[in-house]
Amino acid sequence: MIDEKKKPIKYWYMDLKSEKPTVHEISREEIETLKPNAVLSCSDKTIFNLFTGSTGPEMAYMRGLLKVEGSMGAALKLKSLLELSATLKL
């Protein structure tokens, strides 16, 4: 997938079921192997804006900046994760 500036859209894998949750970038091909509940795809700028709070996940979705495949219920949990990340001091 390509964003509005002709840059490849990144795929991020969030494993929230493991003892130690992880987030990392993956390829589109790895998605087929991992079989996640939901696939969220967006540009680097969008993921940055989501995690810094500049853009909410609902607004990014409505503007077409965030694509969702699979379980919308699982995807909606992103908001809780983003709210939690805003409280962390990294």
| Domain boundaries along the sequence of the chain | 10-87
- Mean pLDDT across the chain, nearest whole number? 80
By percentage, how much of the chain surpasses pLDDT 90? 8
Name 45's Cβ contacts closer than 8 Å, sequence gap at least 6: 3
- Residue 63's pLDDT is 95
Instruction: Kindly state which CATH superfamily the domain 10-87 is placed in.
Output: SCP2 sterol-binding domain (3.30.1050.10)
Render pLDDT for 59-78 as a digit per residue (tens, 0 to 9). Answer: 999 999 998 888 888 888 87
Instruction: Classify residue 9 by its DSSP letter.
Output: P
Q: Mean of the pLDDT values across residues 36-40?
A: 84
Question: What pLDDT, on the 0 to 100 scale, is given for residue 86?
Answer: 67
Q: Does the pLDDT at position 45 exceed 80? A: yes
